[in-house]
């Protein structure tokens, strides 16, 4: 009941309630704030501010949502491989004949990058390998 009196005192001041919430988050007491806000809502469910906070606290906070960090052990080698392939395709020796020496990279950069992105997403998801292989084959055509 650490925030109960402060929440009641700030009933007509949404900015002050938000500041209380941020202070609770910074002070590692969001559960106490949540419990006190829910108690205020149960006392006065017709109060619009308490109702808004009730529904805000019902949804998971972005920091509580499941996050998937980048898979750097896969991303870095794939990006290096992509850069190497694009560099090779951009060399002067690899150009379309009769097109004013337009390098292959002008036409092939999109499928190369698409296949690499598809590979990264498939391997990090650890599912859909057959579908990804079919999409990659279609992209390579």
pTM for the full model? 0.49
H or E stretch at 132: helix 129-140
CB distance 2 to 12 below 8 Å: no
Sequential pLDDT tens for the chain (141 residues): 688 888 888 888 889 989 988 888 888 778 888 888 999 899 988 989 988 988 888 876 555 556 678 899 999 999 999 999 999 888 877 777 665 677 788 888 988 999 999 999 898 888 888 888 888 788 766
Q: Which residue has the tokens 């337009």?
A: 102
d(CA 94, CA 96): 7
Cβ atoms within 10 Å of 103's Cβ, excluding its own? 17
């Amino acid at each position: 009941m650490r925030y109960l009196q402060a929440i009641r005192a700030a009933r007509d001041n949404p900015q002050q309630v938000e500041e209380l919430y941020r202070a609770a988050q910074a002070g590692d007491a969001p559960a106490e704030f949540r419990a006190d806000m829910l108690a205020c809502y149960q006392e006065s469910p017709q109060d619009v501010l308490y109702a808004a906070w009730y529904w805000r606290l019902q949804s998971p906070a972005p920091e509580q949502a499941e996050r998937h960090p980048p898979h750097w052990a896969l991303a870095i080698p794939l990006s290096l491989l992509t850069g190497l392939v694009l560099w090779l395709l951009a060399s002067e020796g690899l150009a379309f004949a009769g097109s004013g020496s337009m390098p292959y990279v002008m036409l092939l950069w999109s499928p190369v990058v698409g296949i690499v992105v598809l590979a990264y997403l498939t391997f990090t998801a650890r599912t859909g390998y057959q579908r990804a292989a079919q999409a990659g084959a279609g992209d390579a055509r």
